[in-house]
Amino acid sequence: MAKLGPMGFSPYPTAVNEGVLNPPEGKALLFDEIVDEEVAMREAAKAMLTRENPTIFPGPQVLYAWSEDAKKKAKLIKELAQVLGAKIIPMYDYRPKYPKINPEVEINPNHPNLTIWHNNIKACIFVGVHCHYANVALKIIRAETDCFTIALCSMEGHEDAMITLRDQHPEELEKFIKIAKEVKKELGI
């Protein structure tokens, strides 16, 4: 049976509605607390390494080779998935699918909960998803699932994720991989 998220089936109130705002530059958001980036990265790695069926959801900005940055990020995300032992399910198309999606191979921002329920995902990372679709998807996941969400955002972050890391470019991803390896060692995995 699906377990509901903190908001039940209603995506409201949103994090903003509860007074949670995106972190300032150089900082990260851990639930409703502003913390150092390293602290958030450690917690994110811990969640991905200890929860069931960790999954990375890469969006079009990293799935497609449209810039040198995207190509570098793709390599790093693949490495990150290996370090975290995470599955990769792509969000390659934002349009609502009719009559259904295949939740084993894709996630759609208009009903991301289907993929999370179907695969029993308890921790996930959003990366390379355009802001507005990440916002929609994270709100739905927050409301309808008990999945721990982590947003690796190249811009200002997403307050509806449980952990938000902002300004994430290849250098930051490398740092995250390094921290994930350390956490993995500490946990003896």
For another protein, give the closer residue by CB, 74 or 136: 74
* 188's tokens: 């003896």
53 to 92: interface string for another protein, x by CB under 8 A: -----x---xxxxx---xx--xx-xx---------xxx-x
Sheet holding 148-152, edge to edge: 33-36, 27-30, 163-165, 148-152, 123-127, 55-58, 87-88
Shortest approach of another protein to residue 158 CB, angstroms? Answer: 22
Shortest approach of another protein to residue 103 CB, angstroms? Answer: 12
CB 74 within 8 A of CB 88: no
Shortest approach of another protein to residue 150 CB, angstroms? Answer: 18
Told to check if 1 binds another protein by CB under 8 A, we report no
In angstroms, the CA 183 to CA 189 distance is 9
Helix (H, G, I), strand (E, B) or coil at 99: coil
- Note the residues at the interface with another protein (CB under 8 A): 58, 62-66, 70-71, 74-75, 77-78, 88-90, 92-93, 95-99, 102, 105-106
